[in-house]
Amino acid sequence: MYKTMKNIRVYFMTLLILLTFTLSSCEVVGDIFKAGMWTALIIIVIVVLIIVWIFRRFTGR
């Protein structure tokens, strides 16, 4: 079980690093706000909730 959790963390960190180098945050935010303020707000809330959910899964809370 512990080995699986370690593999998931490695994959998550690899994905996070890959996204950091491939996406420009200014470019992403600009495209989101072009689509509309409410769309951006919904997307931001969803992303924050997903991040909180992932951290809770890893910490076991």
Residue 45, class by beta-carbon neighbours within 10 Å (0-12 exposed, 13-18 middle, 19+ buried)? exposed
Its pTM stands at: 0.42
Domain count, the chain: 1
| Domain span at 60 | 25-61
The pLDDT of residue 48 is 92
Say if 37 falls within a structural domain.
Answer: yes
Alpha-carbon distances, residue 51 vs 5, 35, 54 (angstroms): 16, 23, 5
Say if 9 falls within a structural domain.
Answer: no
Say if 20 falls within a structural domain.
Answer: no
Say if 18 falls within a structural domain.
Answer: no
CA dihedral sign of residues 14, 41, 31, 26: negative
pLDDT digits (tens), the chain, 61 positions: 456 666 777 787 787 777 777 766 677 677 767 777 777 788 889 999 999 988 888 887 6
